[in-house]
Amino acid sequence: EYVNLNEFFNYILDRFDMMIKTENERGDGFHHLPQKTYSIKREFAPRDLWVELDTDKMMQVIDNIMNNAIKYSPDGGVITARLIENQQSVVVSISDQGLGIPRKDINKIFDRFYRVDKARSRKQGGTGLGLAISKEVVEAHHGHIWVDSAEGRGSTFYISLPYQSYENGDEWDAEN
């Protein structure tokens, strides 16, 4: 399915913006974890980027990376979501100001069940499958997923997907 990535990503991020609002309004004591506040900053390529996606699966991928960004950050962090257009690819990136990932673990976090610092991660909940599944899904789209991180300062996850840039004036839907 061909999807407008800008709209698709906005839709997912809007849900995360909404989630924090409903959490704050509810205050009904059903949440056992202290509620986290965060804000999302969007920096998107100026024009619409059309890519072929399995939307259900790619939504799971972005949800997991967003949930990680929140889960592994202290309260009040800023999450920056970017959409970048290149000649042959588009890049989706999600940056947080959280715990970061130690250098020795960075190649392992995409492995099944791998979690940095088991004791700390257990408290946070989860299985350690999120990024392994994300990698499978992204590679099934002929894309790549990787991370850039500094311990104590934060992490940026990148997803690149194949893309054919079109020239200005050569609109994808131009009447022929």
Which 155-174 residues touch ligand ATP, going by CB under 6 A?
155
Whole-number Å distance between alpha carbons of 162 and 84: 12
The binder of 109, among ligand ATP, Mg ion, none, by C-beta within 5 to 8 A per type, is: ligand ATP
Report which residue type is found at 33: L
Spatial CB neighbours of 158, under 8 Å, sequence gap ≥ 6: 91, 92, 93, 144, 145, 146, 147, 148
Whole-number Å distance between alpha carbons of 85 and 89: 7
**Looking at beta carbons only, is 53 or 116 nearer to ligand ATP?**
116
CB 118, min distance to ligand ATP, A = 9
Q: Tell me which of 96, 141, 143, 160 binds ligand ATP, using CB under 6 A.
A: 96
Q: What DSSP designation does 34 have?
A: P
**Looking at beta carbons only, is 26 or 112 nearer to ligand ATP?**
112
Name the site residues for ligand ATP (rule: CB under 6 A): 64, 68-69, 72, 96, 98-101, 109, 114-116, 121, 126-132, 155
